[in-house]
Amino acid sequence: MEYNRHRVHESFIYTWFSTIAAVLQFKVVSCALMKAIVKYLAGLAGPSGYGSKSTAEQVTQHCSLSSTSSPSSTLTAIITGATSGIGAETARVLAKRGVRIIIPARDRKKATLVKEKILKESPEADITLLEIDLSSFASVKRFCTEFLSLGLPLNILINNAGKFSQKLEYSEDKIEMTFATNYLGHFLLTEMLLEKMVETAAETGIEGRIVNVSSVIHHWVKRNHFSFSQMLNPSNYNGTRAYAQSKLANILHAKELSRQLKERKANVTINAVHPGIVKTGIIRDHKGFITESLFFVAAKLLKSTSQGAATTCYVAVSPQTEGMSGLYFSDCNQCHSSSLANDEAVALKLWKLTRSLIRRRSHYTVA
């Protein structure tokens, strides 16, 4: 039992204080490292004009996202994981800016509470709730079928939902739960909605945007540990490693899909973002004296929920990110992902393996 407690605490530190890992490429305390730390703590603005202390409301303040001339020109966004944390804040802010919000949710009750809270602040907000379980291929297919039947446009897809599973669990499709939820479910969701996004962009002339919420923890994944078969059915499970691998897969997904969209000259972009260290519902199963104490000690490193949602909102709607695709952002600025995350051959291989798996397991033919 003592060993398990240590494993939980180790994983907690490993995951939620992983911004520190972004600077592990520095073997000694260098000038560049010190500058990076000071910049983060002080919230100094980067080239975009925003930084680690910027909020979702601030980065969307001057974005023109709604039209009074025609309801049909209202932007529509699907946001997964919008029943709490960063996702809920993203939904609140975009709704406040006039975006029509679709919330796919496993827990209808929680989704209803989020909707009511948003409507209390923005009575004119247009919010639709639909059911989904991202770990289930069948559920993702049902959601997409239901959404497409509504006849709505689709301008923005934010793949935000995330799961951290300390213990080895399997989805109904017999796939490790973290990988199934964080990567495979979002991959299938994106594939099934992509043509609607391309169509919407072509008809409206408004660039479609896909945002994959990843994490700086992807830097921890070593090339020899990134095995598709092991991610599906690990022989030696480690919750933190599984989470990191799924987040690396999110970036590789953005990398390869961006290449394909550019090749077909589609007016749709896809990027990956690191939201920062935010105390969200993903650690709800790891509460206790140790974790709460760690948060207290590290308070200066933590972002508020609105600060955590800022990069997602910035990439999703800012005019500054127009035409930018296949990139990785943190603190509302483009930044470097790991060398493995930038490997186009690995991205293509992962894409092919994922397509093959989806065809076999879900009876869905990816175009």
Q: What is the chain's alpha carbon radius of gyration, rounded to the nearest angstrom? A: 19
Give the SS3 label for residue 118: helix
What lies within 8 Å, CB to CB, of 267 at 6+ separation is 198, 201, 202, 205, 206, 207, 208
Give the tokens for residue 114: 């989020």
Sign of CA dihedral 29, 35, 39, 45: negative
Pairing relationship of beta strands 328-330 and 333-334 according to DSSP bridges: antiparallel
Strand (E) positions, the chain? 76-79, 100-105, 127-131, 156-159, 208-213, 268-274, 328-330, 333-334
Which residues contact residue 137 at a Cβ distance below 8 angstroms, ignoring those fewer than 6 apart?
Answer: 173, 184, 185, 188, 358, 361, 362, 364
Q: Please identify which of the residues 50, 170, 183, 237 carries the catalytic annotation.
A: 237
Structure tokens at 168: 């080895």
Whether 314 sits among the annotated catalytic residues: the reply is no
Bridge-partner residues for 213, per DSSP?
273
Residues 6+ apart with CB under 8 A from 252: 341, 343, 346, 347, 350, 351
Cα separation of the two ends of the chain: 48
Catalytic residues: 237
